[in-house]
Chains A and B, each alone.
Chain A
Amino acid sequence: MMDYVWLIPLFPFVGFLINGFFGKNLPKNVVGTIGSMAVGLSFLVTVCIFFQFLKLPPEAKPVEKVIFTWIASGTFSAQAAFLIDPLSLIMLLIVSGVSTLIHIYSVSYMHEEEGFYRFFTYLNLFVSMMLILVSANNFLLMFVGWEGVGLCSYLLIGYYYEKQSASDAGKKAFVVNRIGDFGFLLGIFLIFWTFGSINFREVFAMASKYPVGAGIITAITLCLFVGATGKSAQLPLYTWLPDAMEGPTPVSALIHAATMVTAGVYMVARCSALYSLAPISLTVVATIGALTAIFAATIGMAQFDIKRVLAYSTVSQLGYMFLACGVGAYVAGIFHLMTHAFFKALLFLGSGSVMHGLSGELDMRKMGDLKKHMPITYWTFLLATLAIAGIFPFAGFFSKDEILLHSLVDGKVIYWAIATTAAFITAFYMFRAVFMTFHGESRVDHDVAHHIHESPPLMTVPLMILAVLSVIGGFVGIPLIEGGHIFRDFLSPSITPVAFQPAAHPTHTFEFGMMIFSMGVAALGIYTAYKFYILVPDLPTIVADKFRTIYDLIYNKYYVDEIYDTAVVEPIKEGSNILWTVVDAKGVDGVVNGSAGIIAYLSAHLRKLETGFVQNYAFAILLGVVVVTGYLIGR
């Protein structure tokens, strides 16, 4: 079965080709079935390979399958090859599994849309590229997937291209991602320049001979991290992700929550062998992660668009994952990546279900009391919210608790303090969303109110499956019990631990205390939300009035978009304008038009020589003869 690993990205690609070329003329349910089947088959193959991999003896791992040599030029060679190791298997399972559910959901959710086939074409291409990204055995092939998912993200954000804001958001995502990709590309160049190879295993084996803190390793890892901040929406390149919510909701769930945006975290974990040698880079990763976690969480408190709340929450949770990687707890980062994929996909699909029931309404101020109309959506959404808030025994509890623990014992107290504050805020704004959407009194517009309905089974079944995963997904990483952390034991062959600091072994009492504490923080956040939005519904307005400046700052997302506009976008526009009107229109065109003008002026005078009078020409010939003869004689 291992030999058929290439089938995993191939199935969605075939689906992409079929839907892309023939989808227009196929009935909608056929298009949807092809799209979902393609991804489902990938998931099946992945599961088979996963179980086969478990049975392999340790010395046979990891498995590398070369399909063909893609580029061979001098000393440079790149193969189209797949690396099957615990890390890529986990990612393959998450990506193909969550994708399958979201495809099935989309068949129903997108049914009324124009260009249904276009949606599935892009979605299948995305899955194919994402699977290449996580299973590639070298940096270049990974970069192909990296760019491919970026392209699909652009196409799908701009899916409603007739809408100005959607196509703008698509462009913004693409341009901001380019900045990150540039860093990633520089990182790859540096890797080839330093190691003469781009194969993961060769590079990591050679890197282990470098001393801790080697300058070149630090440079490489920082460049790669720039790529990660772009793709995974970290400070300062996070601005595209909230805008990406212009895309259809399944896209937000799949690309902008569960899979693509986690590519940066995957890449950092994949390069753990490099990052573990670069203390400076790790500090940068952890600091950026912690800052992003708190920064995005605070913005999430004051948003009213349900998808934007979730988007900022995604940015914040990605910050957690980077914080974990930055303190050397790569396993905790990937663990949170997995549980986050389950509950955040569920939250987005739930919000999509709400939108479906409310004829596309996104503003939480126009929701409320949907609990009795949409029981399945409500309960699944609530489970996911409990999971993201970090309540025992839901999936988020285990992964978030592990990150908090590691940020304290392996990192610094300040990381832990920031992460804990962010956890409080997360619990607050997520329950704020639940209370505003499903509880309280109905603020739904009158003409929408009479046909609120629960979504069809094709949408609610994926919700329920994801809800189950959000509840039990954390049990693969039970702390405290020896050998209970199956996830860490499984993943450890792929991860190179940080060498320069000894692994901390906190006592069980300490770990237990930490769990109680983080639960308490989450519970406090939930209670605060309860007080604000259920007990005293006037309180938010009162508090907002009292802290007007701060509230305005948060409500306007710290004016980051405006700052970027004035500091970066406008100067670039101005500069381009000068380049256009002065350098190009006057300078370049001036040279071209000027040389043509000189020629025209000269020929206007020289053409007078063409008299059309045959004897003048004869005279010219004679003159020539005289000159040549004179030269020959007088020589």
Chain B
Amino acid sequence: MVVPVSYYLTLSIALFALGVIGVLVRRNVLVIMMCIEMMLNAVNLAFIGFADYFKAVDGQMFVFFVMTVAAAEVAVGLALIVAIFRNRGTVYVDELNILKW
């Protein structure tokens, strides 16, 4: 059975949109980080779908790159969050607003 590419893309868009909404509306930095990861994985899914559709391995290769970047990003991001929490005692972004006018 062949899954049509539109299915992949629909799922990918849905995941990406959920990620965006999560980034924009959630207050917890950890959740925002997870939403970003979700957006990355939505993109990965789109890559896989297209790679299958075009019968090319380029897409799968890009997925590995994205996963590497994501791993690095999480490592740095989590470290930052720990540092922020130690400094400010909170992980809620609406309380981390001292860089305003």
A→B interface (CB under 8 Å): 607-608, 610-615, 618-619, 622
Is A613 touching B93 in the complex (CB atoms < 8 A)?
yes
- The answer to whether B23 touches A612, judged by C-beta atoms less than 8 angstroms apart, is no
Selected A-B contacts with CB under 8 Å, 29 pairs: A607-B101, A608-B101, A610-B99, A610-B100, A610-B101, A611-B97, A611-B100, A611-B101, A612-B97, A612-B98, A612-B99, A612-B100, A612-B101, A613-B93, A613-B94, A613-B97, A613-B100, A614-B93, A614-B96, A614-B97, A615-B23, A615-B24, A615-B25, A615-B93, A618-B23, A618-B24, A619-B24, A622-B20, A622-B24
Dominant secondary structure at the A interface: helix
Q: How many angstroms from the CA of A622 to the CA of B100 in the assembled complex?
A: 20
A613 to B94 Cα, complex, angstroms? 6
Q: Which residues of B contact A (CB under 8 A)?
A: 20, 23-25, 93-94, 96-101
What is the minimal beta-carbon distance from A620 to any residue of chain B, in angstroms? Answer: 11
What chain B residues lie within 8 Å of A618 (beta carbons)?
Answer: 23-24
Chain B residues whose CB sits within 8 angstroms of the CB of A622 once the complex forms: 20, 24
Closest Cβ of chain B to A453, distance in Å, is: 85
User: A611's closest neighbor in chain B, by CB?
Assistant: B100
Measured CA separation A586–B20 after assembly (Å): 54
Q: How far is the CB of A350 from chain B (nearest CB, A)?
A: 82
A196 to B: closest C-beta gap in Å: 67
What's the Cα separation between A618 and B23 when bound, in Å? 8
Query: How many whole Å from A618's CB to the nearest CB in chain B?
Result: 6
Least distance between B44 CB and chain A CB atoms (Å) = 18
**When chains A and B are docked, how far (Å) is the Cα of A614 from the Cα of B32?**
11
Whose C-beta in chain A lies nearest to the C-beta of B98? A612
- Nearest A residue (CB) for B36: A618
- Shortest distance in angstroms between B97's beta carbon and chain A's nearest beta carbon? 4
User: A615 to chain B: which residues have CB within 8 Å?
Assistant: 23-25, 93
A611-B100, A614-B93, A618-B24 known; 6 new pairs, CB 8 Å cut-off, are A608-B101, A610-B100, A611-B97, A613-B93, A615-B23, A615-B25
Query: Could you say which residues of chain A place their CB within 8 Å of the CB of B93?
Result: 613-615
Chain A residues with Cβ below 8 Å from B20 are 622
Q: How many angstroms from the CA of A610 to the CA of B100 in the assembled complex?
A: 5
Nearest chain A CB to B84 CB, angstrom units? 11
The residue in chain B whose Cβ has the minimal distance to the Cβ of A609 is B101
| Shortest distance between the CB of B40 and any CB in chain A (Å) | 15
CB distance from A629 to the nearest CB of B (A): 12
- In the bound assembly, the distance between CA atoms of A264 and B10 in angstroms comes to 99
List, in ascending order, chain B residues with CB within 8 A of A611's CB: 97, 100-101
Note all chain A residues with C-beta closer than 8 A to B98: 612
Top 9 A-B pairs, shortest CB-CB distance: A612-B100, A612-B97, A607-B101, A612-B99, A610-B101, A614-B93, A613-B97, A611-B100, A615-B24
- Which residues of B sit under 8 angstroms from A608, Cβ to Cβ? 101
Q: Hey, which chain B residues are within 8 Å of A614, CB to CB?
A: 93, 96-97
A608 to B23: give the CA distance in the assembly, Å: 22
Q: Which residues of A contact B101 (CB under 8 A)?
A: 607-608, 610-612
**Min CB gap B43→A, angstroms:** 13
Q: How far, in whole Å, are A283 and B3 apart by their CA atoms in the complex?
A: 113
Q: How far is the CB of A154 from chain B (nearest CB, A)?
A: 58
In the bound complex, CA of A622 to CA of B97 (Å): 20
> Which chain A residue shows the least CB distance to B96?
A614
- A107 vs chain B, min Cβ distance (A): 76
* Smallest CB separation, A520 vs chain B (Å): 98
Q: Which residues of B contact A619 (CB under 8 A)?
A: 24
Nearest CB on B from A121, distance (A): 63
CB distance from A354 to the nearest CB of B (A): 81
